[in-house]
Each structure stands twice: as C-alpha cells, then as structure tokens.
Structure 1
Amino acid sequence: MRPDPSAHALAPAGEFSTSERNAVYRAIETRRDVRDQFFPDPLPDDLVMRLLRAAHAAPSVGFMQPWNFILIRDAAVREAAWAAFSRANDEAAEMFPQERRDLYRSLKLEGIRKAPLSICVTCDPDRAGPVVLGRTHNPRMDVYSAVCAVQNLWLAARAEGVGVGWVSIFHDRDVRALLGIPERVEIVAWLCLGYVDRLYAEPELALKGWRQRLPLEDLVFHDRWQAR
C-alpha cells in the first residue's frame, strides 16, 4: 500500500535561533581534514550510529539513498589498506615537480593507522532501479548524493569532537579486493575517524604552503559564465 501524502502535515520551516545558527556555521567553518592527530581510543557505538544517522539523512536525487557504509576496525584490514595507500602515495609523489616533492612527502598522512575506525562509503547505482527520478539526464547524480552523505557525517563528527580524514590516494582495485566490494558498486570515500583534541586553525595545506584558499569573489558569477 502506498503512503497517503495527505496524512503527513508540513512542519514549520522557521529560521534557527541565533545560537543554533552559529553552531551550524561554526561546524562548517572549523571542519578540518585530519591526517595525523588521532587518538587511538575507540569511538562508542552510540556515537558512531549518530554519525551514520546524520549521513543517512543526506539529500539524495530521487530519494535513491545510494550509500553503504563499511565500518573497518580490524587492525589487520587497516594495515592492508595503509599498505595500498602507501604504494599509491609513492607513485603520487613522483607526479609532482621536483620542487614540490619534498613538501608533499613531509605531509603526514597516517590516519589509516592511527584512527581507530575507518568507514568506506560506497555508491550503489542500482539502488533505485535503472530509471531514477532526477538521474535521467545526469548519471553521476547518485555519486553526488553519496558525497552529500560524506559531508553530513563530517559536520556531525565536528560537532561531536571527532576528527575525520578523507583518504583518496589508492588504486580502486586494491580497496575493492580488500573489502570485497562488487564491481558495479562505486567507492566514494575512505574516511578515518577518531577523537582529536586539537585542530588546525586554518586548513593544514594552506598553513603548510601547499595551496591557499581562493577569494570567494573570484568564484561568483552572475547570470552567465565569468560575468562578475
């Protein structure tokens, strides 16, 4: 039986209180990609479920909810993932000009080993069938939806005092084989999670001279491309 839409009243859509609004913006503005500052203490199960519920509340095109979350706590699995990352990281270093390689190699990227929990976020393109409302003309909308789940989780983690690091330097085939992910399912993110007591005041890559934040006014156009 299909649900009756008339049975569900619309909820008020008023603005948040000042303190609530400030908390949202604070989470956004102080969110950081944590690479090396994790404590080894395990995250409580109820906390992990709160983060997953936040991720699961993300918007998704056609309400397809394409995500799955693989929780990885086993030290041997995380060590194998680190080995796969390490091989790819060595390859990545060679892709940069010589003058950038030393700085690249100085960045500590030890989250997989240090964080007590990793979460592999995936996208199942078949979750809502072959034809999905809103994905009919852009097949990547399912992946974009899964990335919204990552962002939800990340902001919730910031509010909970949990650091998150996104690991993207690996060969897809290595993680797929390690976790038994089917070929049709796309790997979206490997996230490292753990408690932290300090975060960089600005993005770490900016502070260490890798790249600076772009001025917002250079990125905003009006009505047409590059119309300022």
Structure 2
Amino acid sequence: MRPDEFQHALSPAGEFSSDDKAAVYRAIETRRDVRDQFLAEPLPDELVTKLLKAAHSAPSVGFMQPWNFTLITDEATKQSAWEAFSRANAEAKLMFAEEQQALYSSLKLEGIRKAPLSICVTCDPTRGGDVVLGRTHNPRMDVYSTVCAIQNLWLAARAEGVGVGWVSIFHDADIREILGIPAHVEIVAWLCLGRVDVLYGEPELAVKGWRQRLPLEELLFRDRWGAR
C-alpha cells in the first residue's frame, strides 16, 4: 500500500451512540458461563457463521490469526468428550478441601451432551512462522490472541441469545485423541453453545456460593505494584 493510500484505509473513530454503547456494556455485564440452560434446538448455520466471523475478527499478535474452530455435533464424539470430562472431574474434586467437595459435587460444570453444538478452539503456534511480530519476547501471545477470539464469540453469542459454556476440566491428551488434533497445536477451549431462554442474574458460582466477585478497588494499583 502506498503512503497516500493509508488515508483511505482509515475510518471514523468517534463514540458509539448511547444505545449502541448500552448494548455493548449489557452484553459484557450479562454474559454468563452456561452449563445447564441450553435448549435442544440446533443453531442455524448462518448464525454459527456470524459467531465465528465475530471470533475471527479478534486482534492477534502479528496478525497471525492462530485459531482454528472444530465444530462438533456428532453425538458419539460428544459422549466421548463427556466421558473424558467425567474422569478428570472426579480427579478434580479430590484436589479441594474435604469441606468443599460436597459443594463441588453439586455444581454442574459442563453442558457437553445437552448443548446442540460444541466448538473446540485451538491455537497453531506455527502459523506466523518462526518469528512473529509482537511474539518475539512473549511466546504466549498467540494463545492470548486466541482467547480474544473466544471472548468475541462469547459476546456476540450473548447478543444473539446464544449461551456459551467453557469446559476446561479434561486431560489434554484425551481431547487430542478424540478430535485427532496434531501434537504442535494447542487446545485452548471446549465451548458448548446453544439457545437459552434464561440466564443467572449473577455468575453461577457466585449464586451457588463458591466464590463472590472481588471489589474492583481491591485490584487497582497506580504506577507500581501494590501502590493504592
């Protein structure tokens, strides 16, 4: 692109309208990690494509776009993933103090079999070559970029009335084998997606007493770590 052409690539960067801003903040504030509120109806292909395009619009280090999205609707594959989760979940329960284990057991931590669609989001660290602009000193930037894509999808899904749940309790090797994921590709998330008609008003783990949201002012420093 010639220097005189850069100007034509720019677009206005003013504030959104009040209604548009309110919609963005509403999506952020009411987004939930959905585990059990999924409806059975399949998601239309055009809607799934919209959500994937939102994910693909995320920023990425060196514009490497390291993500891939494996869509799973096959019931046998979802059953295998659920079994992998169940084995890991039984192990996870024992990692918590005995007084927490009963509450842990009462929590539903996945919707793999109930949600009509699962998406396995992965990160390919080789996509940008050996040296990637912006990743030269922090090799994890490609994974952080992939998480940005997931958040884009999650917020777009909230705006469309689609629930999303992130399943993270499994052994990497199990999901890698189930989906045939190459050794060099990193598994970032197993997402469950489906229509929902109700959501918790607050995060489910807060509602059920696992943890509460920390006050923002306790997390703020100025100019130096620990300086209030």
- Normalising by structure 2, we get a TM-score of 0.97
Q: One-letter code of the match for 1:97?
A: A
After superposition, residues 1-228 of structure 1 pair within 5 angstroms as 3-4=1-2, 6-8=4-6, 9=8, 10-228=10-228
3-state SS of 2:36 partner: coil
- Distance, in Å, in 1 between the alignment partners of 2:2 and 2:82 is 49
Structure 1 unaligned segments of length 5 or more: list them.
none
Query: Could you say if the C-alpha distance between residues 45 and 4 of structure 1 is closer, same or farther in structure 2, counting changes exceeding 3 Å?
Result: farther
Q: One-letter code of the match for 2:195?
A: Y
- Distance, in Å, in 2 between the alignment partners of 1:4 and 1:106 is 61
| Distance apart, 1:7 and its partner CA | 2.8
3-state SS of 1:95 partner: coil
| Distance apart, 1:109 and its partner CA | 2.8
| Distance apart, 1:6 and its partner CA | 3.8
| Distance apart, 1:141 and its partner CA | 0.2
- Distance, in Å, in 2 between the alignment partners of 1:5 and 1:175 is 47
The Cα offsets for residues 56-82 of structure 1, whole Å up to 9 and x where unpaired, read as 000001101000000000000000000
Structure 2 unaligned segments of length 5 or more: list them.
none
- Distance, in Å, in 2 between the alignment partners of 1:5 and 1:162 is 43
| Distance apart, 1:202 and its partner CA | 0.2
3-state SS of 1:71 partner: strand
For the 8 Å contact 2:110–2:166, the answer to whether it is kept is no
- Distance, in Å, in 2 between the alignment partners of 1:160 and 1:76 is 28
RMSD over aligned CA atoms reads 0.9
| Distance apart, 1:108 and its partner CA | 1.6
- Distance, in Å, in 1 between the alignment partners of 2:129 and 2:211 is 41
- Distance, in Å, in 1 between the alignment partners of 2:27 and 2:135 is 30
3-state SS of 1:163 partner: strand
3-state SS of 1:135 partner: coil
Q: One-letter code of the match for 2:147?
A: V
Q: Which of 161-170 and 102-111 deviates more?
A: 102-111
- Distance, in Å, in 1 between the alignment partners of 2:59 and 2:179 is 26
The Cα offsets for residues 29-76 of structure 1, whole Å up to 9 and x where unpaired, read as 000000111011100000000000000000001101000000000000
Runs of 4+ more than 6 Å apart: none
Q: One-letter code of the match for 1:68?
A: N
- Normalising by structure 1, we get a TM-score of 0.97
- Distance, in Å, in 1 between the alignment partners of 2:2 and 2:138 is 30
- Distance, in Å, in 1 between the alignment partners of 2:47 and 2:157 is 9
- Distance, in Å, in 2 between the alignment partners of 1:225 and 1:18 is 35
Counting matched residue pairs gives 226
